[in-house]
Amino acid sequence: MARGARFLLVLALLAALLAVVFQLYRLRKPRLWTVEELSLYNGTNEGLPILLAILGSVFDVTKGRSHYGPGGGYHHFAGRDASRAFVSGNFTGDGLTDSLQGLSSSEVNSIVDWRKFYFERYIFAGKLIGRYYDSQGNPTKYLKGVEMKAKRGAQLLEKQKSDEAKIPGCNSKWSQQEGGEVVRAVVEGAKQLLELVFGII
């Protein structure tokens, strides 16, 4: 009996080891999806996971079934790459596309930020063959261009934040009952300026 128990234990350890090796292999080489395959995972079949793609990266969003499944607020993203809709807000026909043509660098940067969100919160399930990844799973020139444009958008955003930090905020307040009022510090500053420039007050 002890010999049989050892054999079963060794067999169980081998099975566990094979499962780990299989998982590592899957992580090393992501699954490649076609547009047709991905469309089957749109949440209408309860037996399948719900998948979406953004910039060609495919994610399993099944844990958010109430959002991504039929009737959910984000169902239009399920089973496709609708990258453009993440910033356009157009969730109909032409808006549900992976094309980013005509978008600004800051809009493209927002889409890259959305992709980061999915990498952080959901399970990466592979790559979608097409605009962003070729049939071998390699990034296309289009994806590289998108990432460069997003980087420019991020730099512009940082510059804008830096510039805004240099400009003081508005020091006024207004209400319908009391009308407008400039905060005392602004008035005092203006008095000092007038005194300095014109020698008055």
Question: CA 97, CA 88: separation in Å to the nearest integer?
Answer: 10
What tokens were used for 27? 């992580």
181 Cβ partners below 8 Å, 6+ apart?
172, 173, 174
Quick one: the chain helix, strand, coil %, rounded to 5? 55, 15, 35
Q: List, for the chain, all residue ranges whose pLDDT scores fall below the cut of 70.
A: 1, 18-28, 168-175, 178-190, 193, 196-197, 199-201
pLDDT in tens, 69-116: 999 999 999 999 999 999 999 998 889 999 999 999 999 999 999 999
- Kindly list the distances between the CA atom of residue 80 and the CA atoms of 3, 91, 169, in Å, as whole numbers in the listed order: 53, 12, 43
Set out the domains of the chain in order of their start, with CATH numbers: 32-163 (3.10.120.10)
CA nearest to 32, candidates 139, 122, 167: 139
Question: CA 201, CA 196: separation in Å to the nearest integer?
Answer: 10
First-to-last C-alpha distance (Å) of the chain:
106
- Kindly list the distances between the CA atom of residue 106 and the CA atoms of 53, 97, 110, 115, 165, in Å, as whole numbers in the listed order: 20, 18, 6, 14, 19
pTM listed for this prediction: 0.69
89 Cβ partners below 8 Å, 6+ apart?
95
- Kindly list the distances between the CA atom of residue 81 and the CA atoms of 31, 42, 95, 104, 167, in Å, as whole numbers in the listed order: 16, 11, 11, 19, 40
Residue 38, number of CB atoms within 10 A of its CB: 22
